[in-house]
A and B are shown apart, each in its own frame.
Chain A
Amino acid sequence: MGRSRIEDKAYTEPHSIVEVASKTLSSYPHLVSVTAVHDEKEKSIELIYTFSDFRGALKNISTRIPEDKKTLPSIASVAPAASIYEQEVSELFGVAFDGNPFTGKRVLLPDCFPNDVHPLLRNVKQEDLEKVVAGCMLGEPQIYVTGSSRYSAESVILLPFGPYHPALKEPERFILVLEGETIVDVIPKIGHVHRGIEKIAEGRTFLQDLFLVERICGICSFIHSWTFTLAVEELLNVKPSKKAEYLRTMIAELERIHSHVLWIGLLGYWTGFESMFMWIWRLREKIMSLLDLLTGNRVHKSFIAFGGVRRDVTDEKLNTVAKTIAEFEKDYKKLIDEIMSYEPLVERIKGIGMYNAEHAIRLGAVGPMIRATGIPYDIRKVEPYGAYDEIDFNVVTGKGGDVFNVTMVRIKEVLESINIIRQCIEKMPRNENPVPKTLVIGVVKEGEAVARTEAPRGELFYYVKAANSRNPHRVKIRTPTLANILLAADMLKGYTLSDVPVIITSIDPCFSCMDRALVVDKNHNSVFFVDFNKLRKENKRIR
Chain B
Amino acid sequence: MSALPIEARGLRKAYRSGLKGRTVLALDGLDLDVRPGEMFGLLGPNGAGKTTTVKILLGLTRATSGEARLFGIPVGNPESRRRVGYLPEGHRFPGYLTARETLAIFGRMSGVDGPALRSRIEPLLDRVGLASWRDVRVKKFSKGMTQRLGLAAALVHDPQVLLLDEPTDGVDPVGRREIRDLLREEADRGRAILVNSHLLSEIERTCDRVAVLRAGRIAAQGTIAELTAQTTRYRMAVSPIDDALLASLRETGSEVTRVNGHLELSARDLVQLNAAVDRVRARGALLEELSPLRASLEDVFVDLIAPASVAGAGPKEPS
Tell me, yes or no, whether A binds B: no
Interface residues, chain A, with chain B CB atoms under 8 Å away:
none
Interface residues, chain B, with chain A CB atoms under 8 Å away:
none
